[in-house]
Amino acid sequence: MGGSFKPMFKRILPVSVVVLGFLLSACGSTSAAPSTTTHSGSASSTSPTSNSSGAASATIPDPCTLLSASDITAVLGVSVPATPGINQGTGSGLPARSCTWGSPINATGVVSVLVASTDAATGANYADTLVDSSGPVGTSVAVAGDGKIVDRAVEAGGGGVGESIIFHKNGLTVVIAVVKGAVDQNALVVASQNAAAKI
């Protein structure tokens, strides 16, 4: 153990310092920081980043209305009801709303829609923060002009194994994620295009 402790310490120390810095900076903050959870796979801790669309705060639509029952059935293979998620705004965190379909404990998986606008006071965007801090940028996809598909499920509070599409439209950032092992990319793209058409 004596020989392996030093290299392990060198890897853990910088991460510990960064985490401690985030915790200390959060103590002085007046806005709630995004939390993370894990469904099946890894999730990333987050800190606010600027919205890449550069738009000011926009009215956030009900994310449960952006996908139809046929979109959900195409992506998951079954029909499941929508469950409203976060609904935060001024004074209660970065402006964002979410909705999910399915359960992380079922093999059919979960579909999540996260819609966020840029916070006027901080310039931060919850959805952009989650995607940017969770891994690589992704690959371009034909959704709303700037769509990207990433090889991880990014949803309010965290994410896990799966895939997500992020796009920006009318001052909003939208992330449509599928939490499951094998994702039908074509169905995810079509569902994302359908959601973009409603914004």
Model confidence at 45: pLDDT above 90: no
Mean pLDDT over 41-47 rounds to 34
> What's the mean pLDDT in 48-65?
62
Give pLDDT tens digits for 80-132. 999 999 998 766 789 999 999 998 888 899 999 999 999 988 899 999 999 99
Separation between Cα atoms, residue 1 and residue 101, nearest integer Å: 47
Distance CA 108, CA 10 (A): 41
Asked if pLDDT for residue 47 goes beyond 50, the answer is: no
Mean pLDDT of 50-75: 78
What's the average model confidence in pLDDT over 144-170?
93
Residue 83 β-bridge partners: 100
Question: Rounded mean pLDDT of 172-184?
Answer: 95
- What gap in Å lies between CA 104 and CA 19, rounded to an integer? 27
Token pair 């409603």 is at which residue?
198
Q: Which residue has the higher pLDDT, 9 or 193?
A: 193
Is the model's pLDDT at 52 over the cut of 70?
A: no
- Mean pLDDT for the stretch of residues 137-146: 95
pLDDT the model gives residue 137? 87
Query: Contacts from 28-36 at CB under 8 Å and sequence distance 24+?
Result: 31/93, 31/94, 31/119, 31/121, 31/122, 32/88, 32/92, 32/93, 32/94, 33/93, 34/93, 34/94, 34/126, 34/129, 34/130, 34/156, 34/157, 35/157, 35/158, 36/157, 36/158
Q: Global pTM? A: 0.72
